[in-house]
Structure 1
Amino acid sequence: MRRLLVSAALVWLPVGVLGLTWAAWHGRLPDRIATHWNGTGAADGFGPASWFWGTLLAIGVAAGVAGVVAARTPGARFLLTTAGSVSGAAAAIWLATAGATLANPADARLGWRFLLVFAGLVWGVVVAAAAGPRPVTAPVGAPAVDPLELKPTERVAYSSTLRSPLLLGVTLVAAAVVAVVAATTAPAVWPVLALPLAAALLFARVRVTADRRGLRLVAGLVGVPVKRIALADIDSAEPARIAPMEWGGWGYRVAPGRSALVLRSGPGLVLRLRDGRRFAVTLDEPEVPAALLTALRHRASG
């Protein structure tokens, strides 16, 4: 835990750089500074220095908060890395822009300073190294589940809504960073903005339903089906402890022989399919849908 707290503190270090450099430079910076650069590195867009700095500071603070939350979440090293990259990039963009303006206020040129942005992104690797390797945990066997007692014609369904404020916050911070980079230095990256926004729409809230048709996951914000597994394809349904890194991280993960929707660590439902694959989804009280799907599968098979 101590290493995780150190890595979370490192996420805040670029925020401190933003504050210190503003205190040292704001008296020397013009009211409007270069905020956008063309392909030759010359400034072709300008904006208020205080607004530009404040935007980057807000992004850095949001990343710092995400880092603290991630440090308190088991198996959250991936989020720590992301928060470190976001916070480092925010400070790097400010250093590159303000540094170029201070070097030549009349004709600011980005030049070699664009490398600072890449260095800022690499800060996430430093944060991950400080967190240390992921601890190896022994596999936990799934507890036995007794099927629900269903009458031959009885219809029963299970439904639950999954929410992930942390995932929503991280994707929105990532979208803000992409927007700032695109608006200030690299307009070509605007299409990348679609990736974090799509992730937020699809996975910030997900509706999970289990009934005679099988298991269905639907993106709650847009109503788009995320996953459908027919009852006939399910071999078994079991509750289990889900460790995100054991399934490839957070979000919708796909790996050989398995896939998962992981929005946190903790209890979840694991389906073993007839073709040998597995699917997992993090859920509160997964014993309920596991017992229901087991009963429905037994009834369907006679």
Structure 2
Amino acid sequence: MRRVSAAVILVWLPLVVPVVGRVAWSDRLPDPIATHWGPGGGADRFSSFQALFAVTLLVGALCGGIALVAAARLRSTPGFRFAVTAAGATAGGTAGAFVATAQMNLADPADPRLSWWLVLFVVGLAWGLVVRQVAGPSPATGSAPESAEPLPLGPDERAAFATTLSSPLLTGAAALTGAVVLALALTVSPGLWVVLLVPLAVTLCFARIRVTVDRRGLRLVAALIGLPLKRIPLARIEAAQTATIEPGAWGGWGYRILPGRSALVLRRGPGLVLHLDGGRQFAVTLDRPEVPAGLLAALGTRSKG
């Protein structure tokens, strides 16, 4: 519990940076200040220092809120370490960018130039590694996969399984990211409007996902837009198992690709694990995975028979 509390406090700590910076620099900075630099190093976009301060404070507070939610709901899972690391890196990077922007304007208020101060952004991102270290090691990663018993199917009997998955965590994170990008686009850099396409795409792809198992194999489709996300033919499936899926063991939330395996992870809990030809694996989190696992086992046995 001490590690959890310490990690959360460290995520909130970068909020001190804009508060101290406002007290120290607000009466010395020009108005407006440069907030974006072109390829030649010259400033090409400007904003007020108060807007920069407000956005930095907002991002830091949102990251702190994410850490609090993770501590309340994910502290006994690998997801807590992942969440506070990402939140710490975002809060630290934003604070580093705040200091770098202020210092480049203070160096030459008449002609602020891009300089080595920008390295503070990278240093700020490294704050996430500090938070990760304090959070401690991840707990054990779920249960061992269990082979599924084939469902009893007659020689000419047809069967199919279908369910719809949702991910409040991913859609909530996408909405939070969209809100931060929108605030930055309105106050700092209008060119950031195009970045809104990223959280929009995440929402459209992962808000609702249709999972289907039948004689053709396994299919995953983004239900809101009808976009196929994954299709595994029955002939490629060598075995179907059930397991408790830990996001940290599969690379985090969302669609993950790792050496030799991939997964669609929308939460921690029961899931379907498929062993494919070539030694690869694919996993998807869903309720009652023993049903689609048993159906795939039965369909695979019948197709080989």
Q: TM-score, normalised by structure 1?
A: 0.81
1:141-220, aligned counterparts within 5 Å? 141-143=144-146, 145-170=148-173, 198-220=201-223
2:136 maps to 1:132: yes
Report the Cα offset of residue 239 of structure 1.
Answer: 1.4
Q: Aligned AA for 2:144?
A: G
> 1:56 corresponds to which residue?
56
Q: Aligned AA for 1:91?
A: A
> 1:121 corresponds to which residue?
125
Q: Which runs of 5+ in 1 are unaligned?
A: none
Report the Cα offset of residue 293 of structure 1.
Answer: 2.2
Query: 1:197–1:129: structure 2 CA closer, same or farther, 3 Å change rule?
Result: farther
- More displaced stretch, 181-190 vs 270-279: 181-190
- 8 A Cα contact 2:51 2:188, kept in partner: no
Root mean square deviation of aligned Cα: 3.6
The whole-number CA distance in structure 2 between the counterparts of 1:47 and 1:185 is 6
SS at match of 1:89: helix
Q: Aligned AA for 1:280?
A: A
The whole-number CA distance in structure 1 between the counterparts of 2:182 and 2:120 is 17
Q: Aligned AA for 1:44?
A: D
Report the Cα offset of residue 200 of structure 1.
Answer: 4.9
Aligned residue pairs total: 301
Counterpart pick for 2:279 among 249, 252, 276: 276
The whole-number CA distance in structure 1 between the counterparts of 2:243 and 2:134 is 30
Report the Cα offset of residue 254 of structure 1.
Answer: 2.7
The whole-number CA distance in structure 2 between the counterparts of 1:170 and 1:280 is 22
> 1:37 corresponds to which residue?
37
2:120 maps to 1:108: no
Q: Aligned AA for 2:167?
A: S
Report the Cα offset of residue 180 of structure 1.
Answer: 8.8
- 8 A Cα contact 2:273 2:284, kept in partner: yes
> 1:294 corresponds to which residue?
297
Identity of aligned residues (%): 52
Q: Aligned AA for 1:120?
A: G
Q: TM-score, normalised by structure 2?
A: 0.80
The whole-number CA distance in structure 1 between the counterparts of 2:155 and 2:102 is 72
Q: Aligned AA for 2:96?
A: A
